[in-house]
Chain A
């Protein structure tokens, strides 16, 4: 099992590209700092920053700005590993995780598109990208950073390993970024279609049922429609109008807020179980010690 009992409903809010622009464009009436405080106070578990073909901001930049104006809410970036090579995406999402002390998330949902980097088909590309990212995030283990002034050793770099991944993408690694606080940034599958392999490798799916056993499910809810009874673990709220309006509607859905540890990560909020290592011990060192 990869999930733990939650005892409360997960509430996420998806901001449309127009709503993201409204929050972050300069000379807006509300400072992002104020918006960030409202987000934290609301008790909402995460905000998902969507992208799209219409007017939009890059979601990883938007998430970083909001991440610096918040301290507890999760920040989920919609990013397709199509123009973005999985190595670069793993680095940016890992960086967001470091900058927010473990509050980053990754949303993907489109299989019907081509990658600029590999000829493999959409489902393979997405599934493989998630696998690559998960390996890369563990290629520079956190506890290698020893900062031993006496010995003059900053990191036990001989324990940083290549991943030598050969799938739809060929990636040697390592990632030139230490293991993020969450080790595995949670992956949310946000497409309607849940019959793909990509849906099954995700940690969370948006829909009515899991794509595989042990997966977190969030039911989508459009503001202004009836809230359907469901056995989902929570809801993903979206709607028309201003960002503030959508946040307010989502906040109203939050169960009487049970204060979480101030160091709660997004994985904690989603009730995802702790991880095992995806890289075995036999990997090639990237910086072998000289004899």
Chain B
């Protein structure tokens, strides 16, 4: 391994971009969000910029209303296969739910993708909290949070064991609360053995699980101080679990709008995040906070009872991680409801930079050097234009500052993250055996 430490940069490919108005730009067409050529082009741009990986969020069911902007459409493992066919080095990270998948099928599909891509895949492990999804799988309601996390932990355990079985050709015999498995995977192992594991660990439980088992954590951090606090927490959990803390990379989201001047960037931001999208922002904020905003005085800060009270785990349909970020931001800057809505327009709890390439590079460097992040999950306002400007303007600055690679050195994603497959030591976590990944 070379001595140089680099900032890790992934691109979170939210179809045609994070911004509500991104679909109206000239470099995309109405069906770009379901067009293989679009995703292949985005992958090629990311690879040209020597970015670490191409990341896809997802859910097995509708989450947002596509009335105002495209939503998730194509299934992520299929998009990643298209991206794999177009690239040679770029990492490929996809979100697949442990709530509505089968561990044997998922293990074989992701290992296939890993093998055919030359060992470039990581799995972003999530549980599904989108209520519409339950009804697609024959359930009247989502299993409660605790049950989802128990199923998720067992699911990851089974999948990891199945991936090892592909190497060792020894059957996995597992009888647990959710899964009964007697199977050996007959998919050829990849150049990195099997995929790495990523988690979106935004809640306290999520950070604990990630610290113990993940190779990277995707988080939503609105403030530097919260980011540093969470960074330290996850690294501490890793140490306590007997892991090298450098083996779990902390990667907050970073929403960007870039212009040659700050004014130009502001103008682009106002064009891409029009006021008309406030409805979507409000809806998202209401789900995140678990309350209606209609009865509140929008010129006053959010009431303490909303900020302080944890939501009822049985009925809460939002993301605890995002909620923590939003509450932290509202408190730290004493934002009124109106200011909070404006601040969050489209970003859903992620740090946003609207400015010049130097300003974007400064934020990345500042957070990296202050110990708030090992890198970022970039969320360009519009794709491909927002990614192209990042690759053409920001990456060279980071390279000049010695913060980013000039070319790919390692060929597998695990090598790039510094987490090659090792022999299993089993660590017990709440009664579920969790292999050291």
Known contacts A61-B113, A287-B65: A83-B104 contact under CB 8 Å: yes
CB contact list, B162-212 vs A, under 8 A: 186-188, 191
Known contacts A95-B74, A117-B138: A160-B66 contact under CB 8 Å: yes
A98 touches B74 (CB 8 A): yes
Q: How far apart are the CA atoms of A206 and B82 in the complex, in Å? A: 30
- Decide yes or no whether A273 CB sits under 8 A from chain B: no
CB distance from B25 to the nearest CB of A (A): 10
A92 touches B78 (CB 8 A): yes
A61 touches B66 (CB 8 A): no
- Decide yes or no whether B75 CB sits under 8 A from chain A: yes
What are 15 residue pairs bridging A and B, where the CB atoms are less than 8 Å apart in the complex? A53-B186, A55-B186, A57-B112, A87-B136, A91-B60, A95-B34, A117-B138, A118-B138, A147-B29, A153-B67, A154-B69, A170-B138, A172-B135, A176-B61, A176-B62
Q: In the complex, what residues of B have CB within 8 A of residue A174's CB? A: 62
Our pick among A68, A88, A92, A160 for the contact of B100 (Cβ within 8 Å) is A88
A68 touches B74 (CB 8 A): no
B136 touches A173 (CB 8 A): yes
CB distance from B30 to the nearest CB of A (A): 4
Q: How far apart are the CA atoms of A147 and B66 in the complex, in Å? A: 11
- Surface stretch bound by B, among A2-10, A24-32, A218-226, A244-252: A24-32
> What are the 4 tightest A-B residue pairs by CB atom distance, in nearest-first order?
A172-B135, A147-B30, A64-B81, A99-B36
Number of interface residues of A (CB under 8 A): 57
Count of CB-CB pairs between chains A and B under 8 Å = 161
Interface string of B8-48 (1 = CB under 8 A from A): 00000000000000011000011100111000100000000
Q: How far apart are the CA atoms of A58 and B113 in the complex, in Å? A: 8
- Decide yes or no whether B267 CB sits under 8 A from chain A: no
B274 touches A152 (CB 8 A): yes
- Decide yes or no whether B84 CB sits under 8 A from chain A: yes
CB contact list, B54-92 vs A, under 8 A: 59-63, 65-75, 77-79, 81-82, 84-86
CB distance from A260 to the nearest CB of B (A): 21
Our pick among A53, A68, A85, A152 for the contact of B137 (Cβ within 8 Å) is A85
Q: How far apart are the CA atoms of A147 and B426 in the complex, in Å? A: 52
Q: How far apart are the CA atoms of A25 and B191 in the complex, in Å? A: 11
Q: Is the interface of B mostly helix, strand, loop or mixed?
A: loop
Interface string of B385-404 (1 = CB under 8 A from A): 00000000000000000000
B67 touches A61 (CB 8 A): no
Q: How far apart are the CA atoms of A53 and B85 in the complex, in Å? A: 26
Q: In the complex, what residues of B have CB within 8 A of residue A34's CB? A: none
Q: Which residue of A lies closest to B29 (CB)?
A: A147
Q: In the complex, what residues of A have CB within 8 A of residue B74's CB? A: 95, 98-99, 177
CB distance from B85 to the nearest CB of A (A): 4
A176 touches B188 (CB 8 A): no
- Decide yes or no whether A111 CB sits under 8 A from chain B: no
B112 touches A88 (CB 8 A): no
B104 touches A64 (CB 8 A): no
A154 touches B70 (CB 8 A): yes
